[in-house]
Chain A
Amino acid sequence: MRSHHILLALFAFSLIAPPVFAHAIGGSDAQFVRNTVGADPFPFLYLGAKHMVTGYDHLLFLLGVIFFLYRLKDVLLYVTLFSLGHSTTLILGVLFDFGVSAHLVDMVIGLSVSYKAFENLGGFRKIGFEIDNRLAVGGFGLVHGLGLATKLQDLGLNPDGLLPNLIAFNIGVEIGQLIALSLILVVMTLWRTTRSFGRFAIAANALLFLAGIVLAGEQLAGYFLAGDA
């Protein structure tokens, strides 16, 4: 009965989440980025925050990460690690013109969601294979940043004012992350105090695992079939 609901929810999720819009900068925003010459920090700050708040793959990963983090201290540690990784590859990737296929990066991001869910379920402990959580979160931070660097490069950024714009964008990403994180944290904290948390924690992580597989699969399909790399 419950598995039906999960499937249905995932199915609906897959329909409302076209891969083209997953974590991409599109439409008039892309136009804006392309036409910008010189430092223009506030629009880039906004774009960074918007990118983060509307990037559902990103958000699912965050949800997985803070699922079992209780102390604010721990949350801050992991978020800092993630942000460090994210910022490093975002800024270095664009500055040194280094990037890989956005589809492949997004596939790894999808897998990172499944990875975290599997870990929350105690899967890695079960198979006797444990990676330091901090290392994993930092590593996935690097990958998430690389994905964004690739997408920004595709838009053809103007070299004039590139670094200030990138830094503004990156700060925007962190602001957006804090906004999203606060919301997730409030909901999680409330949920943890209820009885239903114990009952649904397994189902929620099973759902996260499935969502990660779907995200990874659709990006893999995009890599081979979309033809725009």
Chain B
Amino acid sequence: MSEHDQPIAPVQLKVSGKTLALITGGGLVAGALIVLGAIMPAEYNVDPLGLGKLSGIARLWAPEEKTVDTNTAGGPLAREYETAPRTDVIEIPLTDFLGGAKGSELEYKVAMKQGATLIYEWEAVGAAKPDDIGFDFHGHTTPEPGQEMTVASYKASRGLSQKGSLTAPFDGIQGWQFSNFGDAPVVIRVKLTGFYELVPSGQEGNLAGIVANVPAAQARPDFQSNQR
């Protein structure tokens, strides 16, 4: 073929100034939109335009997780602590399953230092069947954005009560996700004793805003419709 010496297209394109401006300007704007609107929310949990939240792309973001072994941890069997032990009774009202995720499930955790121990006992009052209540007993650290999260899973199952003790494997928050799958509202009564701190209302671990040591009717002021 003789085309080798005769290019069939110019070595550079001849584009009008207007087209060139359109391509570069459009490329910069579209590129910035993709980065700010999609990549940053999805990869780094930063959402300057709010588009990540609007499109749901922001939900793709999750901190890197590191799971710790919770069955074979070592450590002394007798421990001493600097702080005083505390005791709390937390009554958590949950709507029936028709109340949706907002009413029928929530997470309640307390803050614990590494090596701190607590004794717990919880029961679901008002549940009809033993498998009405789902629970996930777990803990994790509370990392800064972009940092790795360490998680520990203790037990995820169904049942109406649990009693035992926990020694925290790391500084972080420890507790339960409760879900009511039954058709009657229930109250989860959690009794805690030991070395821990309550998580203030609205913070990670107590986003539902549960108030401790008050009757169930007053324990969830942020969610009124369960008191009808």
A198, B9: Cα distance in complex, Å: 7
Which residues of A lie under 8 Å from residue B26 when comparing CB positions? 3, 206, 210
**Is A213 at the interface (CB under 8 A from chain B)?**
yes
Contact indicator per residue, chain A 89-118, by CB within 8 Å of chain B (1) or not (0): 000000000000000000000000010001
Please tell me the size bucket of the interface on B.
Answer: 20 to 34
**Is B164 at the interface (CB under 8 A from chain A)?**
no
Q: Which residues 1-30 of B sit at the A interface, judged by CB distance below 8 A?
A: 4, 7-15, 17, 19-20, 23-24, 26-28, 30
**Is A27 at the interface (CB under 8 A from chain B)?**
no
B44 touches A121 (CB 8 A): no
A201, B11: Cα distance in complex, Å: 11
A126 touches B20 (CB 8 A): yes
B12 touches A213 (CB 8 A): no
Q: How many A-B residue pairs have CB under 8 A?
A: 109
**Candidates B12, B39, B146; contact of A121 at CB < 8 Å:** B12
Asked whether A227 and B146 contact (CB < 8 A) given A213-B31, A217-B31, A217-B34, the answer is yes
**Candidates B4, B12, B30; contact of A10 at CB < 8 Å:** B30
Asked whether A209 and B9 contact (CB < 8 A) given A214-B34, A217-B35, the answer is no
Q: Which residues 1-57 of A sit at the B interface, judged by CB distance below 8 A?
A: 3, 7, 10-11, 14-15, 18-20
**Is B225 at the interface (CB under 8 A from chain A)?**
no
B24 touches A122 (CB 8 A): no
A225, B43: Cα distance in complex, Å: 9
A122 touches B40 (CB 8 A): no
Which residues of B lie under 8 Å from residue A220 when comparing CB positions? 35
A10, B32: Cα distance in complex, Å: 12
Contact indicator per residue, chain A 206-219, by CB within 8 Å of chain B (1) or not (0): 10011011101110
B23 touches A214 (CB 8 A): no
**Candidates B8, B11, B13, B44; contact of A205 at CB < 8 Å:** B13
In angstroms, how far is the closest chain B Cβ from the Cβ of A89? 27
A125 touches B38 (CB 8 A): no
**Candidates A14, A19, A119, A206; contact of B23 at CB < 8 Å:** A206
- Name B residues whose Cβ lies closer than 8 Å to a Cβ of A: 4, 7-15, 17, 19-20, 23-24, 26-28, 30-32, 34-36, 38-40, 42-44, 46, 145-147
Could you give 14 example pairs across A and B, Cβ below 8 Å? A68-B7, A121-B23, A122-B15, A125-B12, A126-B15, A126-B20, A192-B8, A205-B13, A206-B23, A209-B23, A213-B27, A214-B39, A217-B32, A221-B44
- List of 3 A-B pairs having minimum Cβ-Cβ separation, nearest first: A213-B31, A217-B35, A225-B44
